[in-house]
Structures are given as C-alpha cells and as structure tokens.
Chain A
Amino acid sequence: MTQRILDISGLNVRFATEDGEVAAVSDVSLHVNKGECLGIVGESGCGKSQTFMAVMGLLAANGKTTGSARFGGIDLLKADERTLNTVRGNRLAMVFQDPMTSLTPHMRVGRQLTEVLERHRGMDAKAARAEAIAMMARVQIPEPERRFAMHPHELSGGLRQRIVLAMALLCGPELVIADEPTTALDVTVQALILDLMRELKEKHGTSFVLITHDLGVVAGLADRVAVMYAGRVVESAGVREIFAAPRHPYTKGLLACTPRLTDAPTAVLPTIPGQPPDLQKLPPGCSFHPRCAAVFDRCRAERPALAEGGTLNACFLNHTVAA
C-alpha cells in the first residue's frame, strides 16, 4: 500500500478583485505518494502555481480557499499560522522559479541557510554553519566555505538556485514543492539541477511536486503527471502513459506543438488555436471547447467530469459509460 504524503481534495481558490471573482482553481483533487515526483503541467493562468500556494498558505490576501489538503495528519488549509510555521520550511519546503527574488539580497547566503537550522532545529551557530556548508556541498556548490560568506548577487543564477534548493532541503523535508525550478536557468544548468533532484528522490526518498510548463522537464523526472487547464485538472496518469497515449485533446495538443530533437523537423508546427480563456469569463461546458478540434454539442453545454477513460481525464470522447 503506497502512503499518501499529501492529499488535496476538492480544492477551490477564489480571488476577490474589483472586476469580480476570479476562479483560479476549481475542484482540484491531487495526491502525492511517498517517494514519488508528481509533475503538474499547464500554461500561465491554469492554476498550477495557485494550487500549491494555497497548500502552503501563501495565497495573496484577497484569496479564499475551500476543500482540504492533508499533510501528515494536518489539514493545511485549516491550520493556523503557528502550526503552518512548524511544518513549512521543515517537513514541507518550496522552491520558486526566480532564485534572485526568493533570496534576501542584503543577507549573506550562509546566514540565510543557518537561520533555518537555528529556527527549526534549534542548532547553535557553529553546528548550523557546519550543517549548512555540508548541505551546500551536497547540492554541488563548488567551494562552499567561500560561497557561504557571499551575497546572492555575487552568485550566478545556477548557484543561487542551488542555494535555494539547499535551503529547502536543510531540515530533511518529506515533500519539496518546486515551482518552475529551472525555468530561469540555462539548459546545461537545468540539467544539473534536475539530476540533483532525481538523486535526492532516489537516494533519500524525498517526494517532489514539480510544477512546470516544460514537458521535457516532466518527462525526465516525474512518476505521475497531472495536466491543468483553466483552473482544473483535465488529465492525470503515469508519466509513460501520458506521453505515449494522451487522451485529453489539450494534452495531445501540448505534446504535438512542442518540437523535439528526437523527431525530424516538420515544415509547420501543429498548434492549438486561440488562447487560454479569461478566468472571469470561462466558457460554459468544457473550458477547452472553444480551442478543441474534436468539439461537439455536448461539450458546449455540459462540463465533463474527471473520470476513467484510458487515463483519468475530463473529456466526453473518452468516457465510455454515458453519464
């Protein structure tokens, strides 16, 4: 029996804005098993980041959530700030896209690391320094003692992202949520960071949520993949299944319009016409229907549920038993 380390159920995230309510995340249920990497794929505004900002209790002030997110016996959505603070940065850590803005610019990186250890693990300064340097070495930062005393601006983007990763790993978290961790990095550096995450998963059993728009990144690391569109999960399956036999037209479209080095180049790239919908003016029925080539009447009137049909997907074409 696999153990679920994070279990999100019926999550809704709504933002109150001057122009009315924005449905950023709607009825999302996801889980992460112990030791696995769950890939979350989607384009800007699909709700992939907000789902996990809600889980971390980091939503903007005008955001409201309903549903539950169970992590080690705690419902993170209902927990108070104090309880959250004992979990976040400790058993549950997050890595963001931009390593420059997620580090404090005026503080030496070493101090930013030891702070975590002193606060969560009650270490004294000396022990914390030794531990922080050991962790810097583990994420393959060359000359960790010298870099310990540097400020973020003195480090390259790749080194900064390794500092952020080291910070996330300091307390031996059970789950690391990585939101576009390699998007700002060059391909060669991206490959190193992904290798590092793979090693942590395989050798130390760390579980990951990998949020990305890059299908290539997911293919190399994730065990299971959930595809999101307009605030909802539209397809979810094992990584090999979803790449070999995607069922939802959006997933198929995303895969088709990504050129890959392993295929011969084509004259024209397949595309998905149109653009993602405005979350305040979602179309009726299936949110993807205005862009879908296989659309039929029912899609315009009724929203398909996420149901079994080859994979777990939200498309009437695949649901054999009529609802």
Chain B
Amino acid sequence: MSETLLDVKDLKVHYPVRTGGLVIGTYTPLKALDGVSFELKAGETLGVVGESGCGKSTLGRAVLQLLPATGGAVAWLGRALNDLDAKALKAERERMQIVFQDPLASLDPRMTAGDIIAEPLRNYRPHMSKAEMKAKVKDMMGRVGLHSTMINRYPHEFSGGQCQRIGIARAMILDPKLVVCDEPVSALDVSIRAQVVNLLMELQRAMNLAMIFISHDLSIVRHISHRVMVLYLGKTMEIAPRDALYAAPRHPYTQALLSAVPVPDPTIARARPRLALAGELPSPLNPPSGCVFRTRCPRATKVCAEVEPTRAQPGTGHDVWCHHWRESGLETKVAP
C-alpha cells in the first residue's frame, strides 16, 4: 500500500473581478476552481482534462500554493500546506515541482542549460560544491536524453523537444515526490511528443513519482494516467480510474469530450456517433444555477436547473456529479 502524498479537499480559487461602476465598482467572484477534492498516492498519475477555462491549470498551481486558495485544504504528507509560513513552505516545495507548457518561455534565455538545471540545487543545496553540482547536472541531462556536451548552450539553441527535456531535468533534479505537468507536450510535434511522454513515464517509474498531468489531449491522458478527473467551469464532473472513465463514462460531458476526440482511422472517424454540445461555454462570472453543465447538456431536465448534483458512485473509486448518470449515454467505442 503506497502512502497518500496529497489530500486535496474542497479546494476553491476565486478571483474578485470588478463588474460595472467605474468609480465605486462591485466585485463578483470568478470561480476558477470551486470545490475540487482528490487524493494522490506515490507513483500515481492523475490526469486532469477539460476545455480551456475549466480550471485545470488553476488546480495545478493552487495545489503547489503558487496561487492562494480561497477555501478548502491541501494536505501534503498529512500537513496542511495552506497554513505554512513562507519558510516552511519553501522547505516543503523541495519535493514538489512543475513542468510548464511552453518549453522555451519557461526557460530564462540568458542562462545556459546547465545553469537552468542547477538552479534548484543552488536554492536547496547551498553547500554543494561546484564540481558535485556539475556532475549531478550532467547525470540528469543523460537521464532526460540530453547530451552532456550541451551543458553550456542557451535555450534558443535547442529545439522545442529539447527545451522541454531541460524543463523536465530542472523539475527532477531534487528528486521530487510530486510533479505537476501543465500541458507538457501540447506544444511539441507528434514524433517528439511520444518521446517526451515515454520519458515522463520512465522517470515516474524510476522515482516513484506522483504526477498531476494536465492536458486537453484525451488520448495522451489515457496513455499516461492511472486516474482521470474531468473539470468543467471549475467543478469536478467525474473522476474515475482510467479504464472505467474511458470505457464507461457516466457524465454526459465526459461522453461528449470523448466522442469529439479525432481518431486516426478513416473508417471509425466517419462512422462513429458524436454527442454534440449545444451553445457556448457560459461565463464563469455568471455560472448556470444547479448543475453548471446543464446549459449545454443533451440530458438536462428541470431538476438540473434547480438542484446542484451531489456525488454519485457508479463504481469503486468512480465519482460522478450528474442527476442523470444512470441513463445510458452514448456508446463510446474504446478498447478496454
């Protein structure tokens, strides 16, 4: 039984947004994240999916305390992260890292690859000798598939895939227990994407890492995750073990997302049914009453507008927030 690293309960991130009135103005909370809960164990990957603006990046940042939470709790190895002072938080952060989407923008253009990868060591191992640091950086470069002769090159001399490897090396050099990957392969070419996905999975196995893998690409998320969470307008719609979510999704939003994923097979792509979503994403400043998804939901009824759905459990570890989850949805043809 592996230990629970992270226990997130009812996490909320609200931004005050000024609406109306130039001088006096009133503030309306924009609920970027509104009551999300999950647990994460060592060696486990949680995939987080949803459309732009659903709160998936906010979730990653709020877990790492890079954004102040408005409510809820993040427990890290049993300690409440949101109560820690800056010094204690810095100490805990040694074990939590993040990999960003844009590989070039997340690297300082005036630092060499070696300096970038060594930066966490300089912060957390101030007494480490230069030679030892360099040896550690070179070893890490080898592990992420970068030649150690590239240590003195600047980010612009690397390709997108190589820059992402530098970002991964920087995240891994302190032997973290948790890595948040925020769309780490979205900016990469198809042939490079597979290389980086394999690298992340290999490092995870070797280091027994817990990973939060944020992506809009449901095919990649299925490949890499053990469990998957589906977000919509800052709320969890469904969370389930990978195979349960992909083979028997219960939430109409999950079903719609899965049915919209392009399949690289002309026969299947042209024959399979699609669950189309009506309308546009509502404004998060003025979310629909009841179930936030109801304005685009093909199964919405009167109750959806009046009552916010509570958690239902169609299976072990499978939670869904929908009044109509029992009604059979669209058959998604996914291999088990």
Chain A contact residues, CB within 8 Å of chain B:
43-44, 142, 156-159, 186-192, 194-195, 213-220, 239-240, 243, 253-255, 257-273, 275-276
Contacts and interface: CB of A to CB of B under 8 A. Distances in A.
Ranked nearest first, the 8 interchain pairs of A and B with the lowest CB-CB distance are: A216-B262, A257-B194, A43-B189, A220-B269, A215-B264, A191-B260, A186-B51, A272-B191
Contacts of B270: 220
Contacts of B51: 186-189
Contact of A220 (B220, B223, B266, B281): B266
Contact of A261 (B222, B256, B266): B222
Which residue, A157, A260, A267, has most C-beta atoms of chain B within 10 A? A260
Contacts of A214: 190, 262
Interface stretch (B81-89, B171-179, B271-279): B271-279
Contacts of B260: 187-188, 190-191
Contacts of B269: 216, 219-220
A271 B334 contact: no
Interface in B256-303: 256-270, 274, 276-277, 279-281
Interface stretch (B21-29, B131-139, B195-203): B195-203
Contacts of B242: 265
Interface string B243-259: 00010000000001111
Contact of A268 (B160, B201, B258): B201
A137 B246 CA distance: 35
A224 to B, nearest CB: 11
A269 B223 contact: yes
Contacts of A262: 263, 265, 268, 333-335
B191 A186 contact: no
Contacts of B52: 157, 186
B261 A187 contact: yes
Given A156-B281, A275-B159, A186 B216 contact: yes
Contacts of A43: 189-192
A216 B220 CA distance: 13
B257 A255 contact: no
Nearest to A156: B280
Contacts of B192: 43, 275
Contacts of A275: 159, 161-162, 191-192
A265 B222 contact: yes
Interface string B309-336: 0000000000000000000000011111
Contacts of A276: 189, 191
Given A259-B223, A271-B195, A187 B218 contact: yes
B336 A264 contact: yes
Interface of B: 51-52, 159-162, 189-195, 197-198, 201, 216, 218-220, 222-223, 242, 246, 256-270, 274, 276-277, 279-281, 332-336
A157 B161 CA distance: 27
Contact of A219 (B190, B201, B258, B262): B262
B218 A219 contact: no
Contacts of A268: 198, 201
Contacts of B223: 259, 265-266, 269
Considering residues A187, A216, A240, which has the most beta carbons from chain B within 10 angstroms of its beta carbon?
Answer: A187
13 contacts: A156-B281, A187-B216, A187-B257, A191-B276, A215-B190, A220-B266, A243-B265, A254-B191, A257-B191, A260-B219, A261-B222, A262-B335, A269-B194
Contacts of A142: 279-280
A188 B334 contact: no
A239 B268 CA distance: 13
Given A261-B219, A264-B335, A275-B161, A190 B190 contact: no
A240 B190 contact: no
Contacts of B263: 216, 219-220, 260-262
A260 to B, nearest CB: 6
Given A220-B262, A239-B266, A259 B222 contact: yes
A112 to B, nearest CB: 20
B219 A259 contact: yes
A218 B262 CA distance: 9
A156 B283 CA distance: 11
A302 to B, nearest CB: 24
Contact of B280 (A158, A261, A269): A158
